[in-house]
Amino acid sequence: MNKVLDRYFHISERGSTIGTEVRAGTVSFFAMAYIILLNPLILGTVADVNGTTLGVPQVAAATALVAGVMTIAFGAIAKYPFALAAGLGMNTFVAVTVVSTQGVTWAEAMGLIVIEGLIIVALAVSGFRTAVFNAIPHSMKAAMGVGIGMFIAMIGFVDGGFVTRVPDAANTTVPVGLGINGSIATWPALVFVLGLIICGFCVIRNVPGGLFAGIVVTTIVAMIIQAFVDSESWSMATPEPPSSLGGMPDLSIVGNVDLFGAFVNIGVLTAVLLTFTLLLTNFFDAMGTMTGLGHQAKLTDENGNLPEMKKALVVEGFGAVAGGLGNTSSNTVFADSSAGIIDGARTGLANIVTGVLFLLAMFLTPLYEVVPMEAAAPVLVIVGVMMASQLTEIEWTRLDIAIPSFLTIVVMPFTYSIANGIGVGFISFAIFSTFAGRAKQVHWIMWLIAALFVVYFGMDPLMDAING
């Protein structure tokens, strides 16, 4: 059996072992498990035009189901250790823009996601999506990887309570602050700092399974502290021993989709523009994430391209279709699965482990809820450090490359969006290449993408003009 797994997943060929893949796949799950809690808060509580909500328990169960199925499929077919789950940013756009302001029902909104997913699959099958990937200059690919690392680290700092948003009422020019009210003298922040130290020690000393061990040890520390400290002192998580093993998941929302209702409800043009926005976000979020993860796992070639990229992109495209059908929003390659890569994941076997744990999570919710956000967040910061190593691969001596690379890197964490960073980077790359007299050297696909992103960023005025 071991030989069959080794041969199918190329485990030895990629310098890994079955034990490493199993352990690292577990690490990826714990680094991503928060999406089962976060996605329901984003999607499950928003009422549509009919006053209907999806429900928190229902979205939680469906989120785990779709993530599990698609992660296993990606691992088995694409054979890369890139786990899939409901994409952050996409789910917020669906809830806040598509459902809350455009007047569509949840079934209609999910229908649009299924449609854009089918378009993504068609583009991948045709080879166009791979052609886009190959047309991106190496420095820009490296910048995308670094930007994703910064984005992941930012998520870690925010989720750990180490960095918080300063309310607009504060009348300050500082958009974010250190800790809570400028202080990190809080129990959650202490747990985060201790977790960062523990995880840092583990990776520096090359402790096998270091990040997973860091999460476990930090969770234990959090539970000990919480046992002696009033739970109200915790800003984001209250880790407690599970009261039960869980129960049967509620999957009643799965399949509740109206493919063409939005085109009738809000008009063809508006529905097309919304689908286009979803398409661009999904298209480049996944591509940027796969670029960064592939480089981090050292699975890319000398040009920064992944072997058999077309197959991976086709499977990933079906994540949007599955997410729409499951009412969980588009599922895409999750940047947080880089935690498993850092811990040694190199093959799809790690994905199989991560996916199985997602499926089990439908039944064992109390068990994974024991892990507080403050215990998992330090791993994201360490991952950001690792991914920042690609900074050395950017041609900083050429300002026509350095400026768009820098913009790509900083816009991702500052706007909390991978797609925004890629869009700003591509547009600026086309502009500054022209200034440098290298416009003809820019691949026509890069020009096309830049133009599409100009439309993407101008979507709100377009929508206002149409609705006005």
pLDDT tens, position by position, 207-228: 766 777 888 888 888 888 887 8
Q: Is residue 335 part of a domain?
A: yes
For range 438-444, the mean pLDDT: 90
pLDDT at 236 (0 to 100)? 47
Higher pLDDT, 193 or 305: 193
pLDDT at 246 (0 to 100)? 62
Q: Is residue 454 part of a domain?
A: no
pLDDT at 289 (0 to 100)? 81
Instruction: State yes or no: pLDDT of 175 exceeds 90.
Output: no
For the chain, how many structural domains are there in total?
Answer: 1
Q: Is residue 449 part of a domain?
A: no
Q: Is residue 255 part of a domain?
A: no
Instruction: State yes or no: pLDDT of 109 exceeds 60.
Output: yes
CB 256 within 8 A of CB 103: no
Q: What is the pLDDT of residues 304-332, one digit of tens each?
A: 778 888 898 899 999 999 999 999 999 99
Q: Is residue 263 part of a domain?
A: no
Residue type at position 222? A
For range 46-75, the mean pLDDT: 91
Q: Is residue 32 part of a domain?
A: yes
What average pLDDT does the structure give for the chain? 84
- Percentage of residues in the chain having pLDDT higher than 90: 32
What token pair was written down for 385? Answer: 């450090």
Most trustworthy range by pLDDT among 101-115, 166-180, 357-371: 101-115
Distance between CA atoms of 295 and 419, rounded to whole angstroms? 19
Confidence bin at 419 (pLDDT 50/70/90): confident
pLDDT at 331 (0 to 100)? 94
Question: Which residues constitute the domain of residue 91?
Answer: 3-249+268-394
- Percentage of residues in the chain having pLDDT higher than 70: 89
For range 88-116, the mean pLDDT: 86
Distance between CA atoms of 161 and 187, rounded to whole angstroms? 10
What token pair was written down for 173? Answer: 């020019």
Confidence bin at 349 (pLDDT 50/70/90): very high
> How many Cβ atoms are within 10 Å of 110's Cβ, its own excluded?
31
Q: Is residue 440 part of a domain?
A: no
Instruction: State yes or no: pLDDT of 290 exceeds 80.
Output: yes
Q: What is the pLDDT of residues 233-251, one digit of tens each?
A: 554 445 555 555 567 888 9
Question: What are the Cα distances from residue 402, in Å, to 149, 182, 214, 399?
Answer: 18, 34, 36, 5
Angle at 222 between CA 221 and CA 224, to 5 degrees: 65
Name the CA dihedral angle for 74, 76, 80, 81, rounded to a multiple of 10 degrees: 80
Confidence bin at 71 (pLDDT 50/70/90): very high
For range 426-452, the mean pLDDT: 91
- The gap between the terminal CA atoms of the chain, to the nearest Å, is 64
Q: What is the pLDDT of residues 255-265, one digit of tens each?
A: 999 999 889 88
Confidence bin at 186 (pLDDT 50/70/90): confident
Q: Is residue 425 part of a domain?
A: no
Instruction: State yes or no: pLDDT of 347 exceeds 80.
Output: yes
